A and B are shown apart, each in its own frame.
Chain A
Amino acid sequence: MSQETLRIQKISGHAGTVPGEETQREFQVCKLIDTTTCIGCKACEVACMEWNDLPFGETVFDNTYQTMPETRWNYWNLILFNEHEREDGTLMWLMRKNQCMHCAEPGCLAACPADGAIVQYTNGIVDFQQANCIGCGYCITGCPFDIPKMNPKTDRVFKCTLCADRVGEGLEPACIKSCPTGCLHFGSKDDMKFLAEGRAKQLRDHSNFPKAGVYDPPGVGGTGVIYVLHDVTEPEIYGGLPKDPSIPWSVKLWKQPMKWLGNVAMVGGLIGLFVHYIRFGPKADPDDPTENQNEPPVAGPPVKERPAAAPPVTTAGERSR
Chain B
Amino acid sequence: MNNRAEAQADQILPNGHILRYTFRERLMHWINGFAYLYLMLTGLAFWSPWLLWIAVVLGGAQISRMLHPWVGLVFAFSLTWMFITWASQMHTTKEDKAWMNSMNHYIRNEDEEMPAAGRYNMGQKLLFWGFVFCGVLLLLSGLVLWLPEYIPWNARALRYLAVLIHPATALLTIGLFMIHIYMSVFAERGAFKSMIRGDVSQAFAKRHHRLWWERVVGSASRR
Chain B residues with CB under 8 Å of A310's CB are: 16
**Nearest-Cβ distance from residue B48 to partner chain A, whole angstroms:** 7
B-facing mask of A276-288, CB < 8 A → 1, else 0? 1100111111110
The one of B50, B62, B179 in contact with A135, judged by C-beta atoms closer than 8 angstroms, is B62
- A249 touching B160 by the CB < 8 A rule? yes
The one of A277, A287, A321 in contact with B201, judged by C-beta atoms closer than 8 angstroms, is A287
Indicate whether A115 sits within 8 Å of B214 (C-beta atoms), given known contacts A273-B182, A283-B111. no
Indicate whether A141 sits within 8 Å of B160 (C-beta atoms), given known contacts A280-B109, A284-B111, A312-B202. yes
Chain B residues with CB under 8 Å of A276's CB are: 107, 182
Indicate whether A15 sits within 8 Å of B203 (C-beta atoms), given known contacts A146-B153, A251-B160, A316-B218. no
Q: How many angstroms between the C-alpha atoms of A14 and B16 in the bound complex?
A: 57
**Nearest-Cβ distance from residue B137 to partner chain A, whole angstroms:** 15
Chain A residues with CB under 8 Å of B174's CB are: 266, 269
- A140 touching B159 by the CB < 8 A rule? yes
With an 8 A cutoff between CB atoms, is B125 at the interface?
no
With an 8 A cutoff between CB atoms, is A113 at the interface?
yes
- B164 touching A258 by the CB < 8 A rule? yes
Q: How many angstroms between the C-alpha atoms of A251 and B50 in the bound complex?
A: 19
- A284 touching B109 by the CB < 8 A rule? yes
- A305 touching B108 by the CB < 8 A rule? no
- B171 touching A309 by the CB < 8 A rule? no
**Nearest-Cβ distance from residue A285 to partner chain B, whole angstroms:** 5
- A152 touching B149 by the CB < 8 A rule? yes
Q: How many angstroms between the C-alpha atoms of A152 and B147 in the bound complex?
A: 10
A-facing mask of B151-173, CB < 8 A → 1, else 0? 00100100111111001100100
A residues 123-144 with Cβ under 8 Å of B? Answer: 134-138, 140-141
B-facing mask of A153-172, CB < 8 A → 1, else 0? 00100000000000000000
Chain A residues with CB under 8 Å of B221's CB are: 311, 313-316
Q: How many angstroms between the C-alpha atoms of A149 and B175 in the bound complex?
A: 35
- B201 touching A138 by the CB < 8 A rule? no
Q: Which B-chain residue is minimally distant from A288 (CB atoms)?
A: B189
With an 8 A cutoff between CB atoms, is A254 at the interface?
yes
Chain A residues with CB under 8 Å of B147's CB are: 137
- B201 touching A15 by the CB < 8 A rule? no
Q: How many A-B residue pairs have CB under 8 A?
A: 163
Task: Count B interface residues, CB 8 Å.
Answer: 62
Q: How many angstroms between the C-alpha atoms of A295 and B210 in the bound complex?
A: 14
- B16 touching A311 by the CB < 8 A rule? yes
Q: How many angstroms between the C-alpha atoms of A115 and B149 in the bound complex?
A: 21
With an 8 A cutoff between CB atoms, is A296 at the interface?
yes
With an 8 A cutoff between CB atoms, is B71 at the interface?
no
Q: Which A-chain residue is minimally distant from B52 (CB atoms)?
A: A115
Indicate whether A316 sits within 8 Å of B190 (C-beta atoms), given known contacts A266-B171, A305-B201. no
- A285 touching B189 by the CB < 8 A rule? yes
Q: How many angstroms between the C-alpha atoms of A281 and B186 in the bound complex?
A: 8
With an 8 A cutoff between CB atoms, is B26 at the interface?
no
Chain B residues with CB under 8 Å of A23's CB are: none
Chain B residues with CB under 8 Å of A263's CB are: 48
A-facing mask of B104-116, CB < 8 A → 1, else 0? 0001111110001
With an 8 A cutoff between CB atoms, is B206 at the interface?
yes
Q: How many angstroms between the C-alpha atoms of A27 and B12 in the bound complex?
A: 79
With an 8 A cutoff between CB atoms, is B46 at the interface?
yes
Q: Given known contacts A137-B148, A283-B189, A286-B189, what 12 new A-B pairs fall within 8 Å (CB)?
A: A14-B49, A15-B52, A248-B156, A280-B109, A282-B188, A283-B187, A285-B190, A296-B112, A305-B203, A311-B220, A314-B221, A315-B218
Name the 4 nearest CB pairs between A and B, nearest first: A286-B203, A137-B148, A316-B218, A250-B160
6 contacts between A and B (CB under 8 A): A137-B148, A254-B164, A265-B175, A283-B187, A283-B188, A308-B16
